[in-house]
A and B are shown apart, each in its own frame.
Chain A
Amino acid sequence: MKIILKSPLVNQFPVIKKVDYLINVYKGGYIIIRDDEKETLQPFIATNKFKKIASLTIPEGYQTSWQKNRNKFGLSAATFYNGSIYKRITE
């Protein structure tokens, strides 16, 4: 399992390298990401090369009673696949 490096200074270097690699070397055309990973998504959005094209809500407009009540137990609203799709803006 991955190690999460807490310090932003430690994180900065690999994040820049990662974003550079995935956008310029791999030339990713789409990003599909969970709603609770906004922090991870942010550096990609900051490049102004991606725009949101869809939201993933499974199933559409439906929440189980368990999901609705999770907050009462101090748990975050669990979503299995809910997220967003971003498409690369044509350059």
Chain B
Amino acid sequence: MIIHKAKTIAFKILSNDKWFYAILFIIIIVQICSLDIFMPPWYDEDVFADISYSVAKHHNFLLNIHPLSSNNSQVFFFGPIFFYLQAFIINHIAFSAFFFRLPVYIYGALAAVIFGKILFAITKNKIFSRIFVILFFTNFLICGSLSCGRMEMVTLFFVSLSLLFFLKNYVSKSPSGIALDSIVSGIMFCLAVLTTPRSSFLYFLFALPFFKILVKGIQAKKFKLICFPFIHFFISFGIPYFVWYYPHLGNPVEIFSYITPSVETQISVTNNQIDINSFCWLLINIFLLIYALLKKIRLPDYLYGFIASCIIFISVVIPWSYHHGMIVPVLIMNTVLLLFYIQQQTSSVLASNFLVIVFCIQTFFTGIKYTIIWIDLPSRNSHTLEKIIQQYIPQKSKVIGSYNYYYAIINTDCEFRSIEDNTEIATGKPVSCNKKS
């Protein structure tokens, strides 16, 4: 009874433009106002902020806060897009937790809109796009990923755009403009790889459709069709390799030996690590998939590919910090698609009831998080912190400190080194510190 009432209210809100946009606007405003106070500056954010600061001020990729663990070498592993973007903000607007996190949030919000467009292209029903958008902005892990200063949301934006350009032709089976859209899709994925190579795992989203296109091309002896997957793959990975990774990290063998120590410590299956949020959404995907199969509901091939790619991502990418912020939106998209196909072909309400319960659970936890943030507001005041620091630490001083104080120290015109610079970033192994900074 309660679920039925909740569903009726939810449907009314989702189908009414004014209500939907008003609620979305409030959520976005609260989240943007919380960016600065969501969490204190932390390890990952400081690492990325410091590389961005080096790009902005010294045109290099040195990680100055960790001279030992980075061995005084430039950090080229992540690709340049995120750092150039942040360097632009640092040079033209400001350098602070808020302004470092804001572009991440904007890219994440745009990614949500693009995923909504993908869903609309498939379902032709705005309700399903809106269900996705609401689930996206109320998800605990995604809220963290939007506010943490890491690059997942930027890469997600490019991946979602790549998927939109590819899928709109694939779904409609329209040959017009397929060549151009495939090239644009490849370019977008290339930008995602140049933001972080971890996005490569999301390429599995394209694997099944490309395999089908390839088989179709071979059977029909259409050279153009056979070429599409290879062109897309080359643009997505070949260009980042020749433009960035080969000049900076070397040939594939050198890259492989460079990343091997990290890979050993960063595979989730071998390290028995799961992220509760992404794992729960994967279980929801699997539950709905089994339900759909039992009800003999016909699902599109690419949806199987999407779910398989999520399983691969979750099995491989270790869920340290917000790494899985990249895959949870895909899992939510899969869930909405499964709901769409289940509702289209059966009169069962089990799937939609289940989704209402999931929504209530995740909104409850996210609501608690934001309530705590605003209750704690007085102790999260970074402006007071900067004033105290200016009082005790003169400009141009050399400071050793905790990650929380990074922006405040840099904005006091001091040098900053992390007090925890004793482990190699990826491997955790100590490295020599003979080199001078």
Contact = CB atoms under 8 A, between A and B. Distances in A.
Interface string B361-376: 0000000000010011
Contacts of B43: 1-2
B364 to A, nearest CB: 16
A26 B400 contact: yes
B68 A21 contact: yes
B343 interface: no
B299 interface: no
A66 B377 CA distance: 11
Given A64-B378, A80-B379, A81-B382, A32 B68 contact: no
A59 B68 CA distance: 34
Contacts of A83: 402, 404-405
B223 interface: no
A30 B400 contact: yes
A22 to B, nearest CB: 5
A89 interface: no
Interface in B404-431: 404-405, 409, 414, 417, 419-423, 425, 427-428, 430
Contacts of A27: 398
B44 A1 contact: yes
A73 to B, nearest CB: 11
A32 to B, nearest CB: 4
Interface in A15-58: 15, 17-18, 20-22, 25-34, 37, 40-41, 44, 53-54, 56, 58
B380 A80 contact: yes
Nearest to B385: A81
B403 to A, nearest CB: 9
A66 B372 CA distance: 7
B265 A33 contact: no
B422 A32 contact: no
B376 A29 contact: no
A17 B67 CA distance: 12
Nearest to A62: B378
Nearest to B44: A1
Q: Which secondary structure dominates where chain A touches chain B?
A: mixed
B311 interface: no
A59 B320 contact: no
Interface stretch (B137-145, B284-292, B325-333, B387-395): B387-395
A30 to B, nearest CB: 5
A14 B422 contact: yes
A11 B422 CA distance: 9
Nearest to A79: B379
Contacts of A1: 43-44, 320-321
Contacts of B422: 11, 14-15, 17-18
B219 interface: no
B252 interface: no
B24 interface: no
A62 B375 CA distance: 12
A2 B376 contact: no
Nearest to A37: B402
A54 B393 CA distance: 10
Interface in B254-295: 265
A4 to B, nearest CB: 8
A36 B67 CA distance: 24
A66 B375 contact: yes
A91 to B, nearest CB: 15
Nearest to A87: B392
Interface in A69-84: 78-83
Contact of A33 (B68, B388, B402): B402
B273 to A, nearest CB: 11
Interface of A: 1-3, 5, 11, 13-15, 17-18, 20-22, 25-34, 37, 40-41, 44, 53-54, 56, 58-59, 62-67, 78-83, 85, 87
Given A29-B399, A65-B375, 6 more contacts: A2-B420, A2-B428, A17-B433, A29-B397, A30-B399, A85-B392
Interface of B: 40, 43-44, 67-68, 265, 320-321, 372, 375-382, 384-385, 388-389, 391-393, 397-402, 404-405, 409, 414, 417, 419-423, 425, 427-428, 430, 432-433, 436-437
List the 5 closest pairs (A to B, CB-CB), nearest first. A3-B428, A14-B430, A28-B400, A14-B422, A32-B401
